[in-house]
Chains A and B, each alone.
Chain A
């Protein structure tokens, strides 16, 4: 540790560098490694072909989520290719002594939901997974980011990866969020201001009153979407909210170990005079409920606004026109009132208990619109249990909704949960890329509140009208 003022990011990064290679990357130690069925099999094959072992199996955790079905999970998985990947994960985990939460395990769920809720994710850690939304774990003051399969193999075999240190950016938002403006709207707003590549090459620290006042669920939603800004990841300094969330979780430290960890975690904040490569500031009062209209997450607007003219968009060239054409939208149209066919509540972005509470707060006493097909997918079995225990399931059922079983589901549509070609989905997930939710599917990203109002009105609606 140096005496110089440093950022939260510097403190955690520098504590994990084993060796600095001149004119090259840092050899970077990884505290926690999550694996899933899709990006790990080839890494295990690599280990086998090299004849090397998993060096610290107790630091890797496996869960099945990406291509699991979200109905009838008690039955054998029908798709032979998906079943094969799930079996490979189970077999590889058993072979190398890695903890594995497969389908039907009560701890199973989306990797970025189960890590935090079981206390595996802790402040000050370095965390990687072969999934770009690993940035989610940054909500705890960890450095967390997605890696490729070659790097999964590196972590399995050496607990390290080779990484050049990214530049540092701080995004500060002070003030109070308005009515019906929730955590999801904040990163969607930032994206609309800086574009889907505005933070490429940087690691973000989110700071200011808006993030300080957020729950851990909200902070996870924010950090989750930092990758959509092009950043490798995003993080938020741990505070009492973080510590209260972690205390008593299954794998959180206990007793003396807790006290010792806590005193370290309290040092994890950016020093007052630390320098960032880039600082951005926004005002909370400028943020409306957001929705996207294009085919990257940077193409979003406040819900009462019109779709921008190509001349008003930074990247308003041929790619912008292609994007609107795919969506079936025109410049300068209103987004309010657009017909919706599907609503998806779930994913590592918005599949947590708070998201279901928000959705239920709108649909309570109302009815699902007839033109809407709704897929409500909890992020884990633990979230599913909470939904039942808190009476949320009864509210959903009374309004004509049902609950599916945990998994990534329609966020990336690897399983059967595909939005049909040409249909419009208001989705609480993270990507509106062409075909992301199924070939030809048209995605409008939004918060659980905006998803809920669409589900009961059948069209894009301002949630402030129903609250």
Chain B
């Protein structure tokens, strides 16, 4: 599915300093019943965001108007659990284009890259710097430069490089996806399949 190209993202960020945020929290299973990819952002972090009577929970970060932006900053092991791509769709649909953490669960990371969300893995030290900078000033901007693979806290100038493989980087910058690549390999795949014992 087509997504917005990603080069340099400059934005304020929303802090979510909770470890092991699993995809059931990002989008609970009861909201996975759609047959189209629309509207998942409304149910992003549903049970942390709303009370049973649908009123917003005041102390949850997405309900606090002082925090906004296109970057979500999470704690370690972000996106663990279920493989539901709906979790990445909900984050994208809500308006985030990048998630920063000290490490991501493997399947979530792959899903994010496949739909145009950049997962940025930073060191625990740098993650703490980001949380501290946002605490000092909720409007502080981060700059994520994908071509240079650098993330910068603009208020302090602190920066760190991040890793992404060259293939995925090229795809993100150009808005390409894997299906285009695989379609171009069809004959090679058919030849391979013809030799399979299964």
Residues in B with CB closer than 8 Å to A85 are 33, 35
Contact B198 A125 (CB under 8 A): yes
Of the stretches A152-160, A242-250, A379-387, A447-455, the one at the interface is A152-160
Interface range on chain A (Cβ under 8 Å from partner): 35 or more
Contact A24 B24 (CB under 8 A): no
Decide if B139 is an interface residue (CB 8 Å cutoff): no
Residues in A with CB closer than 8 Å to B22 are 296, 431, 433
Decide if B143 is an interface residue (CB 8 Å cutoff): no
If A39-B85, A232-B107, A435-B25 touch, whether A23 touches B18 (CB-CB below 8 Å) is no
Contact A232 B106 (CB under 8 A): yes
- Nearest Cβ in chain B — how far from A58, in angstroms? 10
Residue on B nearest A163 in the bound complex, by CB: B110
Contact B185 A434 (CB under 8 A): no
Residues in A with CB closer than 8 Å to B149 are none
- Nearest Cβ in chain B — how far from A182, in angstroms? 24
Decide if B70 is an interface residue (CB 8 Å cutoff): no
- From B25, B30, B77, A433 is in contact (CB under 8 Å) with B25
Decide if A330 is an interface residue (CB 8 Å cutoff): no
Contact B83 A130 (CB under 8 A): yes
Within 8 A of A (CB), among B124-156: none
- From A19, A52, A264, B185 is in contact (CB under 8 Å) with A19
Decide if A88 is an interface residue (CB 8 Å cutoff): yes
Of the stretches B6-14, B56-64, B161-169, the one at the interface is B161-169
Interface range on chain B (Cβ under 8 Å from partner): 35 or more
- Nearest Cβ in chain A — how far from B193, in angstroms? 6
- From B30, B77, B115, A197 is in contact (CB under 8 Å) with B77
- Nearest Cβ in chain A — how far from B6, in angstroms? 16
Decide if A32 is an interface residue (CB 8 Å cutoff): yes
Complex CA–CA separation, A421 to B47 (angstroms): 12
If A197-B20, A315-B20 touch, whether A46 touches B1 (CB-CB below 8 Å) is yes
Report B27-42 CB contacts with A as 1/0, cut-off 8 Å. 0111011111100000
Complex CA–CA separation, A409 to B158 (angstroms): 48
Residues in A with CB closer than 8 Å to B82 are 131-132, 146, 412, 431
Residues in A with CB closer than 8 Å to B182 are 27, 154, 157-158, 160, 162
Contact A200 B111 (CB under 8 A): no
Decide if A436 is an interface residue (CB 8 Å cutoff): yes
Complex CA–CA separation, A66 to B77 (angstroms): 25
Contact A166 B106 (CB under 8 A): yes
If A42-B35, A150-B1, A200-B105 touch, whether A434 touches B167 (CB-CB below 8 Å) is no
Residues in A with CB closer than 8 Å to B107 are 132, 145-148, 232
If A38-B32, A414-B32, A414-B33 touch, whether A158 touches B105 (CB-CB below 8 Å) is no
- Nearest Cβ in chain A — how far from B195, in angstroms? 10
Contact A25 B189 (CB under 8 A): no
Within 8 A of A (CB), among B169-188: 177-179, 181-183, 185-186, 188
- Nearest Cβ in chain A — how far from B178, in angstroms? 5
- From B77, B88, B186, B190, A200 is in contact (CB under 8 Å) with B77
Residues in B with CB closer than 8 Å to A151 are 110, 114, 178
Decide if B84 is an interface residue (CB 8 Å cutoff): yes
Decide if B55 is an interface residue (CB 8 Å cutoff): no
If A67-B33, A154-B182, A159-B193 touch, whether A32 touches B198 (CB-CB below 8 Å) is yes
If A18-B188, A81-B34, A160-B189 touch, whether A433 touches B103 (CB-CB below 8 Å) is no
Within 8 A of B (CB), among A355-393: none
Decide if A96 is an interface residue (CB 8 Å cutoff): no
Residues in A with CB closer than 8 Å to B196 are 29, 31
Contact B111 A164 (CB under 8 A): no
Residues in A with CB closer than 8 Å to B28 are 435, 439
Complex CA–CA separation, A118 to B76 (angstroms): 39
Residue on B nearest A67 in the bound complex, by CB: B33
Residues in B with CB closer than 8 Å to A134 are 83
Decide if A122 is an interface residue (CB 8 Å cutoff): yes
- Nearest Cβ in chain B — how far from A248, in angstroms? 18
Residue on B nearest A132 in the bound complex, by CB: B83
Contact B81 A157 (CB under 8 A): no
Contact A414 B183 (CB under 8 A): no
B residues near A (Cβ < 8 Å) are 1, 17-20, 22, 24-25, 28-30, 32-37, 47, 52, 75-77, 80-86, 88, 103, 105-107, 110-111, 114-115, 165-168, 177-179, 181-183, 185-186, 188-190, 192-193, 196-198
- A-B residue pairs in contact (CB < 8 Å), sample of 24: A22-B166, A24-B167, A29-B189, A38-B84, A39-B32, A45-B35, A45-B37, A52-B179, A84-B35, A132-B107, A134-B83, A146-B82, A146-B83, A148-B88, A149-B85, A150-B111, A150-B115, A160-B185, A161-B178, A162-B178, A197-B105, A200-B105, A200-B106, A230-B106
8 tightest A-B contacts by CB? A24-B167, A23-B166, A148-B85, A146-B83, A81-B33, A148-B111, A41-B35, A158-B182
A132-B81, A160-B182, A413-B29 are known contacts; what are 16 more A-B pairs with Cβ within 8 Å? A29-B196, A32-B198, A66-B29, A122-B198, A130-B83, A145-B107, A148-B85, A148-B107, A149-B86, A160-B189, A197-B105, A200-B103, A260-B197, A412-B24, A412-B29, A433-B25
